[in-house]
Amino acid sequence: MPQVVSLLPHECDVLTAKVIHEANFSNLASYARTAAEEVAMHKNASPKADKTSQTLPETPFTTFIQLDGKSAVPSQFRTPGTFTITRLQSPAGLPDRITKLSPVPALLVSISLKSLPSPSYQVWTADKLIATSTVHPFRSNVIDFDSQPRCWAGSAFDYVHYSLPRKGLDDIAEDLGFGRVRDFRLVVLEDDPVVAQITKSILPFLGRSDRLSVLALDQFSLILGAHLLQQYGVLRKTARRSKGGLAPWQKRRASELLHENMHGRIRLSEVARECGLSVSHFARSFKTSFGTSTHQWLMQHRIDRAKQLMSQTNMSLIDIAIQSGFNDQAAFTRTFHQLVGVSPGRWRRHYMTSISERQVT
């Protein structure tokens, strides 16, 4: 039985679910532990990064769609060919059923955030109506896009939809020591505490201007994908991958790329490709080598850069924030306080006071 533990009581509990599946998935713990580390600091993506997320199909992104009673609802809902998180909310239900489509083989995971009475909810797969009952909050549907899922809600609803390309899931399965995923078990209104906890953790960041960075979303897709494979995938055991970390040249290359992209606009897949590894294999190996995830590593180096600028220059905090890779001073202050324990201004005053005292003595 999967275990869900809330670990970090930070300002924004993003991705605090720690999911550890034992038995056949010993490597899954290494993915799941990373979820606890991808916390509030992920919200430092810049507007430029958000704009890129909406225009480049290969970039993951989140969106929040709020319908009203007068909104025109299309009969088809098309997702991009990448990992996406979409919150869809309506106070009036749908006039007709919606067909959900993906341009690439992908898995659709839908989580209801509120109750729906049985007569007001219907789901079809491969043109067949699926038997449903009352929809309780945080129940999950896991459906392959190949079955052209359709749904209808006759009353107010609030859903979070995850779209996960099959290629990414196959890469994770390979890294966990399993062959290509043959199929996924169809479930409707499943009580999945892991998906429920992950969804609760990410809700505060859906629809906000300071969105999750692409590195955070890449890491999040690995966590969710590993769980879906273990829980719903039809898998075939193959040889295990090595559990070692990165080679010295891979560590150097990864560090160089992350240093060159302090704003976090680089994709996890780009760094993995430069190291000659799959995304999931790279993420696990990076954690083994550095003891932290790529995004946590980047956040710590941003803070180190900020400390250097505060101690060696008279630059304003807003300028230091920008130079250190943060979008604004507020994001810089939040992250600095979370990692250091005090605000940047207080740290600077304490540092300067210490320097003055040493010079006097």
* CATH assignment at residue 355: 1.10.10.60
Are residues 33 and 103 located together in one domain of the fold?
yes
Residue at 241 is within a domain: no
Are residues 264 and 144 located together in one domain of the fold?
no
Are residues 73 and 137 located together in one domain of the fold?
yes
Higher pLDDT, 23 or 120: 120
pLDDT of residue 238: 54
Hey, is 266 helix, strand or coil? coil
Residue at 206 is within a domain: yes
Are residues 158 and 47 located together in one domain of the fold?
yes
Are residues 133 and 99 located together in one domain of the fold?
yes
**Residues whose CB is less than 8 angstroms from the CB of residue 105 and which lie 6 or more positions away in sequence, other chains included:** 144, 145, 146, 165, 166, 167
Q: Is the pLDDT of residue 211 over 60?
A: yes
pLDDT of residue 3: 32
Residue at 239 is within a domain: no
Please give the Cα distance from 86 to 110 (Å, whole number): 9
Residue at 96 is within a domain: yes
Stated pTM of the model: 0.65
Helix (H) or strand (E) holding 17: strand 17-20
Are residues 215 and 167 located together in one domain of the fold?
yes
Are residues 66 and 189 located together in one domain of the fold?
yes
Higher pLDDT, 17 or 287: 287
Min mean pLDDT across 46-50, 117-121, 146-150, 324-328 is at 46-50
Please give the Cα distance from 237 to 247 (Å, whole number): 26
pLDDT of residue 162: 97
Model confidence band, residue 35 (pLDDT cutoffs 50, 70, 90): very low
Are residues 19 and 150 located together in one domain of the fold?
yes
Are residues 116 and 27 located together in one domain of the fold?
yes
How many domains in the chain? 3
Q: What is the mean pLDDT of residues 177-198?
A: 89
Hey, is 179 helix, strand or coil? coil
Residue at 290 is within a domain: no
pLDDT of residue 243: 64
Residue at 268 is within a domain: yes
Are residues 161 and 108 located together in one domain of the fold?
yes
Q: What percent of the chain has pLDDT over 70?
A: 80
Residue at 280 is within a domain: yes
Please give the Cα distance from 272 to 250 (Å, whole number): 9
Q: Is the pLDDT of residue 41 over 90?
A: no
Domain that holds residue 173: 3-234
Residue at 37 is within a domain: yes
Please give the Cα distance from 14 to 203 (Å, whole number): 8
pLDDT of residue 51: 36
Return the structure tokens found at 126: 């491969």
User: Please, are residues 313 and 324 in contact by the beta-carbon 8 Å criterion?
Assistant: no
pLDDT of residue 122: 94
User: Please, are residues 173 and 111 in contact by the beta-carbon 8 Å criterion?
Assistant: no
Model confidence band, residue 103 (pLDDT cutoffs 50, 70, 90): very high
